[in-house]
Amino acid sequence: MEIVLKRVSSLDELVKVFVVRGIVFCSQQQVAYALERDEHDCGAVHILGEVDGEPAAAGRIRAVDGWAKLERIAVRRRFRGYGFGHRLTDFMLETARRAGFSCFKMHAQAHLADFYRRHGFRPHGEVFNEAGINHVLMTLEKGQ
């Protein structure tokens, strides 16, 4: 299994990102399309993960008030269990660091908080509902 992670640089790659997100968020997690796609897609950096050419994972990075916000992190069900999520998260952090960011945040699905803790993220505040799913704010700052 050859896993390739890349910053999206073509329309075809962006379409693959939206396919992954549609499968994971809309189909598997029942998030409404109107909530999954938003006005931030046009200004975000998109990340695509492929396995042997098949779109398998996606994420996006946005600059928000001096932070790099990691969003829409998704791995298709059949590609889970191979460390893909960890590789995707590391790749997104490194991409943001190369763009000059040293502070990162995300709205992590609450059941994945321990997963992101392994990358150095820390939870803040109470669990909140976003798109019908429990989330928690998590941050990773220089020196944490």
In this prediction the pTM is 0.93
Residues across the chain: 144
Burial of 81 (0-12, 13-18, 19+ CB in 10 A): exposed
Q: Name the residue ranges covered by the structural domains of the chain.
A: 3-101
Q: Residue 143: which pLDDT band, with cuts at 50, 70 and 90?
A: low
**pLDDT over 80 (residue 144):** no
Neighbours of 115 (CB within 10 A): 15
Fold of 3-101: Aminopeptidase (3.40.630)
User: What is the per-residue pLDDT across 62-72, written as a single tens digit (0 to 9) for each?
Assistant: 999 999 999 99
Calculate the average pLDDT of the chain. 94
Q: Pick 48 or 34 by higher pLDDT.
A: 48
How confident is the model at residue 101, as a pLDDT? 96
User: What is the per-residue pLDDT across 96-135, written as a single tens digit (0 to 9) for each?
Assistant: 999 999 999 999 999 999 999 999 999 999 999 999 899 9
